[in-house]
Structure 1
Amino acid sequence: MIEVFSNNLKKVIASIAATAALTVTPFTNSASADDYPSKPVNYIIPFNAGGESDLSARFQQASFEKIAGVPTVIQYMAGAGGAVAWSQLNGMPNDGYTIMGINIPHTILQPLQKDVGYQTDDLTPVHYFHYTPDAIFVPVDSRFTNLNDLIEYAKQNPAMVTFSGSGSNSSNNIAQVRLDEMAGITTTYIPFSGTGPAITAVLGSQVMAGFNYATSGSNYGDKLRMLAVASDERLPAFPEVPTFKELGFDLVGGAYRGVAVPASTPEAIKRQVSDIVSNINADPEFKKKMEEGGFVLTDITYDKMDEFIAAKKKEYGAAAEKLGIVAKK
């Protein structure tokens, strides 16, 4: 499994070199659903190359032409945790040939924290196709062999269990806060600048544990022990790892990733982009890559989007209060 993931990552890096110099197409109002798509689609990733957003988009890219009949070209517009790109999305071409990766909880929590150039409702996601579940990792030689060991230690030693995670107010941070509340414990969260540094901190025993994404298990499976994963069911890539729900904690979630378009994009094209992503999700080759990497596929289509976003705004709005992002009412 680790070898498969590493091979996929090598392909990602090779492909990055071929596309990194590309730029965004100038704005155009020309949009027709009649022959869409009939030319390559620009796919903007609002982060640097190499992360989970990039990797899942690369997996999509491999199936895109088979499903849509045209290739997709991946480009990067990193900065401010995705806000640089999301704040510019509505000024980009609205003909369906420019699509952008979009993430939750980023696009809900960022505007609550400060002025980032956009509001959650300014953005138009058309499909959320997967999430990376939060999971607890410890070094393979850790004293904690299961989640109960960690919780019992935390009860006896308040604030002494340190968790690394990928940034403040991230999905990892939210999961840590929720587990503390559910288990009646107090732990200490230490934010890092991304998944890589957070996992490195676990491997180097700079922290006792990590609240990271389950996908990290594919890269470091022989060096880390995953104690629990925040998915509804056990992951095919890690069948031996219990879910938090199995262990008595209703903790399900992670970083949700999808595809968005400019708000002015015609409704018919929004639906067509959603259909393409949905069909890619059903592609056996794509499903295999994603499941082997520890991703969980979702199929939240354009017609379900309003309900999904409303529920997530409510969920993360409550989490924001616990994180101190907004004042309690």
Structure 2
Amino acid sequence: MKAAFVTITAGLMAALPLAAQSVEEFPTKPMTYIIPFNAGGESDVSARFQQSEWENVTGQQVVIQYQPGAGGAQAWSQLNSIAGDGYTVMGINLPHTVLQPLAGSVGYATEDLTPVHYFHYTPDAIFVRQDSEFETLEQLVEYAKENPGMVTLAGSGSNSSNELANTVFNQEAGVTTTYVPFSGTGPSITAVLGGQTTGGFNYATSGIAQGDELRMLAVAAEERMPAFPDVPTFTELGYDIVGGAYRGVAVPDSTPEELRQRISDIVSEINAQPAFIEKMEAGGFVLADIGYDEMDEFVAGKVEEYTAGAQALGIIE
């Protein structure tokens, strides 16, 4: 009888919901971190930086998997089909997750997604190959004015921050360029380096990743970035372009509230690790720390901002 009692008790304990156990002990096994883009882009790089700190903070490893497709929409449309036990999280991006549903059916709505923490953003920037004939943004603008539609700029997907920045640039500069969407930053930068496009409207971090192979003509930051002190901002050059992509972590909508907060706290703690801060800043990322308790207000503000952007893109009237 005693052995049977022990067996039954162990079974009941295993069946107890996490809320009945200690949330502070979560996680007690390795976690899976899904990146909805190809390897090599900013979402991947920043997640890799997190990965190296994850075990230090939680005592457990996190395994990164890739699920690229449709500029992230393929993975986001499947997020809520994953078990909400906290052991699978997914990278999430703004403005992608606002602009994509506005543009049409992508298998999810903005409000279907459950971001728990946004931990950085990357400003948009215009790049050309180092051997490009264009040494300044003004040279590129002049050529684009003389050759409407001939300047092609690769970017990380349709209805992304890159495409929005490209559209605003066309309006501000009075030019017509052709935006070429790819399935992530990695493939779009490959296109620029391979000469498939004139240049790219990518993220500032690509300037670190590619070193001397790329030339950054302007960056959409509020002020010059420490990693790129010689690169002017669009504002300096007379163009009202400030913006970029926010990246964070999301969970399935079935994930309990206490686990959502716990995962947010983990990401926030990783954000405070000196080694992580050093890597991110050296890589051209701008750290943010927008936690789960701030998420509703933050997302609401971004929905309003990017809905206006969707009008500029012609997604909505």
Conserved? CA contact 2:69–2:183, under 8 Å = no
Which amino acid is 2:276 matched to?
F
Which amino acid is 1:118 matched to?
Y
Indicate the structure (1 or 2) with the bigger Cα radius of gyration: 2
Aligned partner of 1:110 in structure 2 is 100
Inter-partner Cα distance in structure 2 for 1:73 and 1:223? 31
Which amino acid is 1:228 matched to?
A
Residues 293 and 46 (structure 1 numbering): CA distance in 2 closer, same or farther, change over 3 Å?
same
Give the deviation of 1:128 after TM superposition.
0.8
Q: Deviations over 1:87-112 (max 9, x none)?
A: 23223232322221111222112222
Moved over 6 A (4+): none
Q: 2:162 aligns with which of 145, 169, 172?
A: 172
Give the deviation of 1:156 after TM superposition.
4.4
Secondary structure of residue in 2 paired with 1:315: helix
Residues 85 and 196 (structure 1 numbering): CA distance in 2 closer, same or farther, change over 3 Å?
closer
Aligned partner of 1:94 in structure 2 is 84
Inter-partner Cα distance in structure 2 for 1:106 and 1:171? 7
Secondary structure of residue in 1 paired with 2:259: helix
| Counterpart check, 1:238 vs 2:228 | yes
Inter-partner Cα distance in structure 2 for 1:202 and 1:95? 41
Q: Deviations over 1:265-291 (max 9, x none)?
A: 222222221121112112111122222
RMSD value, Cα? 2.4
Residues 34 and 166 (structure 1 numbering): CA distance in 2 closer, same or farther, change over 3 Å?
closer
Inter-partner Cα distance in structure 1 for 2:187 and 2:28? 41
Conserved? CA contact 1:29–1:95, under 8 Å = no
Which amino acid is 2:85 matched to?
D
Give the deviation of 1:50 after TM superposition.
3.3
Q: 1:85 aligns with which of 75, 99, 116?
A: 75
Structure 1 residue runs without a partner (length 5+): 1-27
Identical columns (%): 66
Give the deviation of 1:124 after TM superposition.
0.7
Q: 1:30 aligns with which of 17, 24, 34?
A: 17
Secondary structure of residue in 2 paired with 1:141: coil
Inter-partner Cα distance in structure 2 for 1:103 and 1:270? 17
Q: Give the TM-score taking structure 1 as reference length.
A: 0.82
| Counterpart check, 1:219 vs 2:209 | yes
Give the deviation of 1:296 after TM superposition.
1.9
Conserved? CA contact 2:71–2:158, under 8 Å = no
Aligned partner of 1:300 in structure 2 is 290
Q: 2:263 aligns with which of 264, 269, 273?
A: 273
Which amino acid is 2:132 matched to?
S
Conserved? CA contact 1:244–1:252, under 8 Å = yes
Residues 200 and 66 (structure 1 numbering): CA distance in 2 closer, same or farther, change over 3 Å?
closer
Give the deviation of 1:193 after TM superposition.
4.0
Which amino acid is 1:244 matched to?
F
Q: Deviations over 1:117-152 (max 9, x none)?
A: 221101110111112221111222333322233334
Q: Give the TM-score taking structure 2 as reference length.
A: 0.85
Conserved? CA contact 2:205–2:284, under 8 Å = yes
Structure 2 residue runs without a partner (length 5+): 1-14
Inter-partner Cα distance in structure 2 for 1:95 and 1:318? 36
